[in-house]
Structure 1
């Protein structure tokens, strides 16, 4: 198993180079085709009162700025991809739906892996809605490039945040091509609980055995949060082990979509120390 089609979601010009370089690094190692995607949303002007008409020149200027950003992102993507010699293509989507547009989602659905920037804890780009749509509507694994990472790296040490759910299992096997590149993999469980097939004391051993059969070097570790947040415990373990890739499921105890980004998933998306593979 390997990645043969990778989609790089380029939301803003500031993150375009970082996300493209990360996607290119994976594409080069796996011989993949890279698709660069940007969604340009038209400017929407709301009239507050009947006599308050927007200035047409101001609207045109805003549209021109949006188009300029698209051209900048496209140039960054094409320049880096051509320099790397990776087969690639560029897709620009324009519409009010943004990253929930059918074209963007269809591009993601036909990919082995989607690469995007992590949520900005101090701003909106990429927005929470963008990431939510990609993760929950595409059905594909999402690689979030963290703010802390210095550059694209081959994952030598991987931390798998494991809780035995469908989402965490899917994330592990979605990340298998990257796990096979790693020298060390740790299955890490926080506040383990008994399941129908596994006692809490042995949490993670079953998935560790499955990965070992793929020829991977895997260890298992289980800790108590001790009143700390699970996100903090996971990030602390990432730092302690020197891991340069995190793998985890995007999950919640709520069935309501607008609450699915609560808890651990939301916290991790805003405070990633290393790139992360997330699957839903």
Structure 2
């Protein structure tokens, strides 16, 4: 089992080159077909303003968007040529709020969708809210690459966040191509609930055993802390153990609740330092 169809988001951010490097490495690792998708953002201009714009201004805007798309796609194809990977490039125009739908549409024909974390210091970076919309709607596992890039050969040391939920089960299954190749997989349960409707009598043991039958070297761990937020604890634990890939289910609670009250998914997406593989 492996990923045979990959899709990577292309843009004009400083982080794109690092995201593409991670995608190309995965295409080599899994002998996969890689699609680079550039969604060209259309300007949303009120009609009364658009009427005042001359044809020359509109032509300049179109040319600028075309140049940016060609630059991003050209850089992607050149990196692929140097890596010896055959790729496919796609470009589609959409208004900003339509971008998640466009990525999701193309992403549903992929085994893994590779997106980038928002860099708040880069105005070209896709807002986190749109990335999260894509994650919720695509129906495929999403690999989030930090804007600082991914560690070389990432996926050797994996932390699997486990809370016994449907989303966590989906993520564990979706991540099997990574998990089976890893040197170590740590199943991490934070503040687990024992018994029926929880994590069982030994938190993490059941999913670790299930993964072991797939040849995954999994170790169950659990930690209890009422003072530290779950996401912060997971990030700290992962850093201490040399994790280079985190796997977890996305939005166990409603997205609206997480946005208002905060939540694991929202916090991890903002503060991630290693790639996250997430499923919803």
- The residue aligned with 1:232 is 232
Q: Give 1:61 shift.
A: 3.0
Distance 1:249 1:150, change over 3 A: closer
CA-to-aligned-CA distance 1:228-248 (integer Å, 9 cap, x gap): 111110100111100100001
Distance 2:151 2:250 in 1: 24
1:171 equivalent in structure 2: 171
Query: How far apart are the structure 2 equivalents of 1:169 and 1:123?
Result: 35
* SS of aligned partner of 1:227: coil
Per-residue deviation, 1:55: 5.2
TM-score by length of 2: 0.89
- Is the 2:100–2:131 Cα contact (8 Å) retained in structure 1? no
**Contact 1:40-1:98 within 8 A present in 2 as well:** no
- Say whether 1:105 aligns with 2:91: no
Q: Whole-Å Cα distance in 1 between the matches of residues 29 and 127 of structure 2?
A: 29
Question: Partner residue of 2:92?
Answer: 93
Measured after TM superposition, the shift of residue 56 of structure 1 is 4.7
Gaps in structure 1 of 5+ consecutive residues: none
SS of aligned partner of 1:181 = coil
Contact 1:191–1:225 (Cα < 8 Å) also in 2: yes
Change (3 A) 1:11 1:49: closer
- Comparing 238-247 with 122-131, greater Cα deviation is found at 122-131
Q: CA RMSD in A?
A: 2.3
In structure 2, C-alpha distance between the alignment counterparts of 1:5 and 1:115, rounded to whole Å: 11
The answer to whether the aligner puts 1:131 opposite 2:124 as a matched pair is: no
The match for 2:211 is: 211
With the length of structure 1 as denominator, give the TM-score of the two structures: 0.89
Deviates more, 1:267-276 or 1:198-207: 198-207
Check the 8 A contact 1:238/1:273 in 2, yes or no.
Answer: no
Q: Distance in 2 between matches of 1:142 and 1:98?
A: 18
Quote the residue 1:251 is aligned against. Answer: 251
Aligned partners of 1:13 and 1:72 also within 8 Å: no
Aligned length: 276
Tell me which residue corresponds to 1:184.
Answer: 184
